[in-house]
Chains A and B, each alone.
Chain A
């Protein structure tokens, strides 16, 4: 089993009861980003349709990083993952928070 942590951006925390970091266990072998996200959808189903289109593709203006690298350059949802890695979901070229 591979355990990773998914970082949730502020706009999606309404679907994670406010949590910003969600650890998930990935049982598939070999473990992939798609498997980790599927485990995330099990505990936070509202996040799925905000990150992926109904065709299962990462939305054009959403970036998903495995470690420091965007999955766009590493094989998409098939990107291999390793135990302890952080997966970060970002709105592309966006961020910030009202204070």
Chain B
């Protein structure tokens, strides 16, 4: 029996929602990791795993990657912090913003993106992590500047057709691409406007908020910028403005449809100086033609005095058909759509401020492969 699990990270722990594939009623479990800020979650279903990773940060005790193989009943908490900057860098980890399991044919590879902006890689299933030096030592680094959320590497996009190619995004540094597995990186921001800089089209320094990619369109990317919506059809070499018909081109969240590569979702926000839903209406916008036009999705969403916003990783899709779409708000509401965004229901209200959302479809009858030996503490 297929079950949909929606993983919700908040500033005070994680919550896991569960529903049968019909997605009509949601059961909420949690809080997991109570009191810790969960800015990143990822499900790793490769190699028969059923593992959920969480980037868990305590204001006091720092940030670590923790994992569960039983949907949060038990967690592996490493004795030694598993994501650490080398001593020679002088840097100290603040937050883990993104966890990206690797391609299907590299089942023990994962990446994570962190603050201060850096990329880490594991090739042993997450037991050990190393900083990607090619990006850490990039000459642009000294001129990257923190956005409102800090200087964070918040987006990792793998190219499923080419294991050596990857894109990452930094606020505020912009989009960078490697074509050699991370040894070298090139800024890829041509055409993206930096409203907050005197030079409007610099090589780098843009405040990109999220980049999405569909595996069936190798060279196409979509980006929600601090200001601006963009599409690239040449793997990031150039970007075109696609912000036509949206109430604001400022926003954080962006997600792509699992089966329709031209369908993208965003949730606009009224300017960086105001940061509420435009006109007090909570609206998801959807394009079904790769950004040539956008439509407001409002059915089931509050359209009066709704001053809620959605952060960059708090919008996600599942892989069913029709696709489920989910978003969580800073005011702790989790909305769910089972028809590709055409209509919405409030799945749960009253959670702590939501930082990230992920959706996964699993066959609950299949037993997960569990690691034979556990080296780390449980809690």
Q: Residues of A at under 8 Å CB distance from B?
A: 11-12, 14-15, 45-46, 48-51, 53-57, 59, 61-62, 91-92, 94
Contacts and interface: CB of A to CB of B under 8 A. Distances in A.
A9 B253 CA distance: 38
A14 B92 contact: no
B143 interface: no
Contacts of A55: 85, 87, 90-92
Instruction: Determine which residue in A55, A56, A57 has the highest number of CB atoms from chain B within 10 A of its CB, and name it.
Output: A55
Contacts of A48: 80
Contact of B80 (A11, A49, A61, A92): A49
Contacts of A94: 60
A57 B58 CA distance: 16
A50 B377 contact: no
A54 B377 contact: no
B377 A15 contact: yes
A54 B59 contact: no
A55 B81 CA distance: 12
Interface of B is mostly: loop
A57 B86 CA distance: 14
Contacts of B92: 53-55, 57
Interface in B38-70: 58-62, 64
B62 A49 contact: yes
A59 B62 contact: yes
A48 to B, nearest CB: 8
Given A53-B92, A54-B92, A46 B60 contact: no
20 contacts: A15-B377, A45-B79, A46-B78, A46-B80, A48-B80, A49-B81, A49-B84, A50-B58, A53-B92, A54-B86, A54-B93, A55-B85, A55-B91, A57-B92, A59-B61, A59-B62, A61-B60, A62-B60, A91-B61, A92-B60
